[in-house]
């Protein structure tokens, strides 16, 4: 799967889970279906974390600057904002190119972040495994902390 395809899939999934969360909130406050927000919020939270990690990995691979990577992650906070940002990235060509598994003459390829990315890209099973475990650990930690606004929100 190319960086473009991975990023676009997660950007779309993140927007879809906003719909799930909003529908769950309507069910909770309009119909008293309390568990809907727990389910919808959990789905959205997991996909949010997955999108954020994907934005960082793809951003480093595509040599985005730190501001663009941070903005990509921040778009997930605003409902549906990942979609127009994704379209902008495509229009500007910021998602073009394959995974960078080899060092080139580009100055960015000499830093440790790009070296680490290339090392992990050479071991995709390890990268995917660590990504899933990392997301699950962060997700579990956030569940322990509780939802935004507290448990009674």
Q: pLDDT tens-digit profile of 19-66? A: 999 999 999 999 999 899 989 999 999 999 999 999 999 999 999 999
User: Residues 90, 121: contact at Cβ < 8 Å?
Assistant: no
Q: What is the pLDDT of residue 55?
A: 97
125 burial type by CB count under 10 A (0-12 exposed, 13-18 middle, 19+ buried): exposed
Q: Is a pLDDT exceeding 70 seen at residue 151?
A: no
Q: Six-digit token pair at 39?
A: 């389910």
To the nearest whole number, what is the mean pLDDT of the chain? 93
The residue written with tokens 């962060």 in the block is 138
Residue with more model confidence, 143 or 75: 75
Q: What is the pLDDT of residue 92?
A: 97
* Distance between CA atoms of residues 35 and 32, nearest Å: 9
Per-residue pLDDT tens over the stretch 106-131:
888 889 999 999 999 999 999 999 99
Q: Is a pLDDT exceeding 90 seen at residue 147?
A: no
The DSSP code for 9 is H
């Amino acid at each position: 799967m190319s960086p473009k395809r991975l990023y676009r899939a997660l950007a779309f999934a993140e927007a879809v889970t906003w719909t799930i969360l909003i529908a769950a909130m309507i069910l909770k406050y309009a119909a008293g279906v309390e568990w809907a927000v727990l389910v919808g919020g959990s789905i959205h939270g997991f996909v949010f974390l997955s999108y954020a990690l994907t934005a960082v990995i793809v951003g480093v691979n595509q040599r985005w600057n730190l501001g663009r990577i941070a903005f990509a992650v921040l778009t997930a906070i605003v409902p549906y904002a990942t979609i127009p940002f994704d379209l902008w990235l495509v229009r500007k060509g910021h998602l073009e190119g394959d995974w960078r598994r080899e060092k080139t003459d580009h100055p960015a390829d000499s830093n440790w972040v790009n070296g680490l990315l290339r090392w992990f890209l050479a071991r995709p099973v390890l990268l995917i495994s660590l990504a899933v475990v990392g997301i699950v650990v962060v997700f579990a930690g956030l569940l322990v902390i509780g939802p935004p606004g507290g448990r009674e929100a």
